[in-house]
Amino acid sequence: MYLHTPIITASDAEGAGEMFRVTTLPFENTPKNEDGSINFKEDFFGRSTNLTVSGQLEGELGATAFGEIYTFGPTFRAENSNTARHLAEFWMIEPEMAFYDLEDNANLAEEFIKYIIRYVLENNREDLDFLANRLADEEKQLPQDKRSEMGLIEKLEFVINNEFQRLTYTEAIEILANSNHNKKKKFQYPITGWGMDLQSEHERYLVEKHFKKPVILTDYPAGIKSFYMRLNEDGKTVAAMDILAPGIGEIVGGSQREERLDVLLEKMKTMNIPMEEMWWYVDTRRFGTVPHAGFGLGFERMIQFVTGMSNIRDVIAFPRTPKSAEF
């Protein structure tokens, strides 16, 4: 079922705080409380609101009502990332399924990516041939070590014909730490050990150099992931998964959600998630819930992967990036 989730929201789904504020308050003479903080009671919604970073939290409610839902809408990130893979406004497809665990979730995401690629190969071959030639011409300008080992069509067929490599975060850290790349200090961000957040260069090393195929990374340290991800039995890791693709790194992020009320409350407390803003979410656990899981697939990153474009700004008509909101 296609569920529409709000674009204006009062909650931060990711807990990262990188959100665009929505307000009608004047910039001059902003109403203040006695302690000097902004008085949002005077604002349009009577509280602080933002543009959504994800429809997931609302999607979880839909999944527990209807079984299987997906959202597809614009999402916004106010992170100052000037890269070929980041946008401040992008579209995300977010399925959420009741009674799914982490493995079911990973299976669906892999199937979904392969379905999209297969569909494009069957229905848009002429376009892909044109894009493959364009990419080949572009790569001729690059030094040998920067060129892809496969052409565009070859890469897409390779993805649909091979099982994605599955491994845990812990296994990934070991591979990276023991790699010649790390020993020769070729990573911009050295591998400091278990618990560190993996950077794009680490993800791409695993995919492009080590396994040479898409990778599904699971079971990340709880401390570097969002509050809603289900705590594993070891008490240290969570049932999270990222799918990493050649050329662009992370294309899917997802998890099994924490359905146990006591564990969720404890995690919210530890991560300083304001309970008063999230009462409606906590109530879904308080008054009966089911195990459930879901993921988000960045639509433009998927298009970027399928078309072989090197910059994400070339696959959206009106790109919104830091210091740039033309048109």
Q: What would the DSSP string read from start to end of 144-172?
A: GGGS-SS-HHHHHHHHHHSPPEEEEHHHH
pLDDT over 70 (residue 219): yes
Query: Is the distance from CB of 241 to CB of 109 less than 8 angstroms?
Result: yes
Q: pLDDT tens across 301-326, in order?
A: 999 999 999 899 999 999 999 998 88
Domain boundaries, the chain: 8-18+53-315
pLDDT over 90 (residue 144): no
User: How far is Cα of residue 76 from the mean position of the Cα atoms in its chain?
Assistant: 12
Query: In the CATH hierarchy, which top-level class contains the domain 8-18+53-315?
Result: alpha beta
User: How far is Cα of residue 131 from the mean position of the Cα atoms in its chain?
Assistant: 26
pLDDT over 90 (residue 245): no
Residue 13: the pLDDT is 64
Q: pLDDT tens across 7-44, in order?
A: 999 887 666 558 999 999 999 989 999 998 999 999 99
β-pairing, 292-298 with 68-76? unpaired
Question: pTM of the entire structure?
Answer: 0.92
Q: pLDDT tens across 123-136, in order?
A: 999 999 999 999 99
